[in-house]
Amino acid sequence: MNASDQHHKFHRKALQVADAQRLIANYIKPGTIELIKLQDSHGRYLAEDVSAPHPFPRFRRSGMDGYAVKSADTVDCSSSHMVWLEVIDEVPCGSVSHKSIISGTAARIMTGAAVPDGADAVVMLEVVEVRSEGGKDLVGLKRPIEDGKNVTPIGLELQEGDSILRKGSRIDAGEISVLATFGVHQVKVYAKPRIAIFSTGSELLAIDAPLEPGKIRNSNTYMVASQVIKAGGEPFILEAVMDDLELARIKVEKALEEYDAVVTSGGVSVGDYDIMGDLVRSENVDMLYNKIAMRPGSVTTAAVKNGKLLFALSGNPGACFVGFELFVRPSIQGMMESPEPYLKEWTAILDQDYTKVNGFTRYVRGRIEVREGLVYAVPAAIDESSVMVTIKDSECLIVIPPAKQTTPAGTKVKIVLLKENV
């Protein structure tokens, strides 16, 4: 490498995280749409807006097991002056009464059944008396009931045409309940973005290989695959690439043709063997950035080729993890038109002094503790970019702005939530 190349390598222009996210957003396109069964849709992303095809409830629904009555009939009743009504029908769930309740009559009704015409309230079963007289069934009431009591009106929850689910929403139990209610037994969802993953580096051993001196097992590939699943994508683990620029170029280009995006880890720092760094500077791809004003992960790199995104993440596990969550995850979410592609942010209280001095914004792995209504962010004990073991215990990233001295406990800090399933 000559001096000018080396200079070029060292003097990368650092982008702010938000600027880099905006830059990437230009290249995110909605993916293909597929029709799947409702029962297969948990965790998928809706590809269309859904509005109510009819009001819900669609009929006046009884909220109790009891008797449908005219409330006006009960105005004067009391324990000492019971009102007796003739029971003229019985309405189980799923049935419809063909009789109208007129003054002096009532209908036995079940929870969830359609309240008969004429009735405007349902008296619960537990507070009535029943008797038969002259072949007629009678129900006795001891207390007045107000108009509308225990009757859910038509459209209480939704009017016809109400917007109920937005395109890009993640489908969870509540969404499935809505879709089933309206008979959406097949759902239009985005196909899971297909994300190719590989690691680079001659130091990497396969996870089932015996250890060798100076080498480490390839863990980032599997970690990133898990992050892809959580982000809503489908991971494809490709073979790790040794430190060979030509081989890497061929593999990356092939993967960019076959998959929706490519994520690599390793090979992006300033060393002689940092092939991903070299690759994104070559003519074959358009580099978007190769330095972010953050730690860990300042070497996080992105490029685009034929409209597809290539993310070259740091080989350090902590930096790789953070780079994924800040840049790759929102891209996957964006391909499914998620209205909130970025991780949720809260303001929290820093629980302990954070003593590191930062030239760049630092994303510190940490836990969330809520005490008496206050959210505390607790930094992990060891938080080097190379550290792997604290990733599993991280519930958030604590955002520490550039600081020349200790950030004291009690400082209000931004945190980025990691454990929410969107």
338 binds its own copies (CB under 8 A): no
- Exactly one of 69, 87, 113, 285 binds its own copies (CB under 8 A); that residue is 113
Q: Give me the least distance between CB of 168 and its own copies, in Å please.
A: 14
Smaller CB separation from its own copies, 308 or 360: 360
14 binds its own copies (CB under 8 A): no
142 binds its own copies (CB under 8 A): no
Residues 30-59 that bind its own copies (CB under 8 A): 38-39, 42-43, 54, 56-59
Residues 165-224 that bind its own copies (CB under 8 A): 165, 171-185, 201-204, 207-209, 211-224
Residues 284-303 that bind its own copies (CB under 8 A): none
Smaller CB separation from its own copies, 10 or 76: 10
Cα–Cα distance for residue pair 313/173, rounded to 1 Å: 34
Residue carrying structure tokens 């990133």: 224
Smaller CB separation from its own copies, 18 or 270: 270
Q: Give me the least distance between CB of 72 and its own copies, in Å please.
A: 25
Residue 81 CB burial class (10 angstroms; 0-12, 13-18, ≥19) = exposed
- Exactly one of 315, 330, 334, 379 binds its own copies (CB under 8 A); that residue is 315
229 binds its own copies (CB under 8 A): yes
Cα–Cα distance for residue pair 194/59, rounded to 1 Å: 44
Q: Which stretch binds its own copies (CB under 8 A): 19-27, 80-88, 140-148, 413-421?
A: 413-421
Terminus-to-terminus CA distance in the chain, angstroms? 45
Q: Is 214 left (phi over 0), alpha (psi -120 to 50) or beta?
A: left
- Exactly one of 17, 24, 47, 114 binds its own copies (CB under 8 A); that residue is 114
399 binds its own copies (CB under 8 A): no
13 binds its own copies (CB under 8 A): no
Secondary structure (DSSP) of 379-413:
E-S---TT--TTGGG-SEEEEE--BSS-B-TT-EE
Q: Give me the least distance between CB of 27 and its own copies, in Å please.
A: 24
Token pair of 70, please? 């005219």
Beta strands in 220-359 (DSSP E): 234-237, 261-265, 286-289, 294-295, 301-305, 308-313, 345-350
**Is 170 within 8 Å of 338 (Cβ atoms)?**
yes
152 binds its own copies (CB under 8 A): yes
342 binds its own copies (CB under 8 A): no
349 binds its own copies (CB under 8 A): yes
Q: Give me the least distance between CB of 303 and its own copies, in Å please.
A: 21
Bond into 153 cis (ω within 30):
no
Secondary structure (DSSP) of 117-157:
TT--EEEEGGG-EEEEETTEEEEEE-S---TTTTEEPTTSS
Q: Which stretch binds its own copies (CB under 8 A): 78-86, 133-141, 155-163, 255-263?
A: 155-163
How many binding residues for its own copies (CB under 8 A)?
111
273 binds its own copies (CB under 8 A): yes
Cα–Cα distance for residue pair 361/17, rounded to 1 Å: 9
The DSSP secondary-structure symbol of 358 reads B
Cα–Cα distance for residue pair 214/202, rounded to 1 Å: 10
Smaller CB separation from its own copies, 23 or 388: 388
Residue 39 CB burial class (10 angstroms; 0-12, 13-18, ≥19) = exposed
Q: Give me the least distance between CB of 216 and its own copies, in Å please.
A: 7
158 binds its own copies (CB under 8 A): yes
- Exactly one of 111, 244, 293, 358 binds its own copies (CB under 8 A); that residue is 111
155 binds its own copies (CB under 8 A): no
Token pair of 325, please? 């969550």
1 binds its own copies (CB under 8 A): no
SS3 69: strand
323 binds its own copies (CB under 8 A): no
Can you give the three-state secondary structure of 21-66, one letter per residue?
Answer: HHHHHCCCCCCCEEEEEHHHCCCCEECCCEECCCCECCCCEECCCE
| Per-residue contact string for residues 232-251; x = within reach of its own copies by CB under 8 A | ---x-x-----x--------
Residues 68-107 that bind its own copies (CB under 8 A): 91-96
